């Protein structure tokens, strides 16, 4: 299993950061077929071949994803996609 961790600091505050995290989760869910559910300030992700969470804090968003053996081969491109989408959401 490959693990992907992406962290980005922000100065948006918790509520705005949650909205940005929701944008990220929607894109990941659509692209990789992940179901998602909020539990407090954390979004649990689960799908065929991947599971993880997006944690939203006052000054940080952290994405942790575990990929199964098949998706592990794509871990570099998946991490790049997560970074791109998160950076874009935080910049908007």
CA distances from 40 to 8, 34, 56, 79, 89 (A): 19, 19, 9, 24, 20
Q: Report percent pLDDT > 90 for the chain.
A: 72
Rounded to two decimals, the pTM is 0.90
- 5 DSSP β-pair partners: 64
| Rounded distance between C-alpha atoms, residue 89 and residue 76, angstroms | 20
Nearest residue to 78 (alpha-carbon basis) of 55, 41, 51, 39: 51
- 51 DSSP β-pair partners: 46, 66
What is the domain partition of the chain in residue ranges? 1-88
pLDDT of 24 reads 87
Classify domain 1-88 by CATH architecture.
2-Layer Sandwich (3.30)
pLDDT of 92 higher than 80? no
Q: What is the pLDDT of residues 68-85, one digit of tens each?
A: 998 899 999 999 999 999
pLDDT of 45 higher than 90? yes
pLDDT of 64 higher than 80? yes
């Amino acid at each position: 299993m490959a693990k992907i961790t992406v962290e980005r600091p922000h100065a948006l505050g918790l509520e705005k950061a949650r909205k940005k995290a929701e944008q990220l989760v929607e894109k990941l869910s659509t692209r990789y077929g992940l179901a998602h559910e909020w539990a407090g300030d954390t979004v649990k992700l689960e799908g065929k071949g991947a599971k993880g969470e997006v944690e939203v804090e006052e000054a940080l968003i952290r994405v942790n994803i575990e990929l199964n053996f098949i998706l592990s081969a794509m871990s570099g491109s998946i991490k790049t996609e997560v970074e791109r989408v998160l950076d874009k959401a935080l910049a908007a």
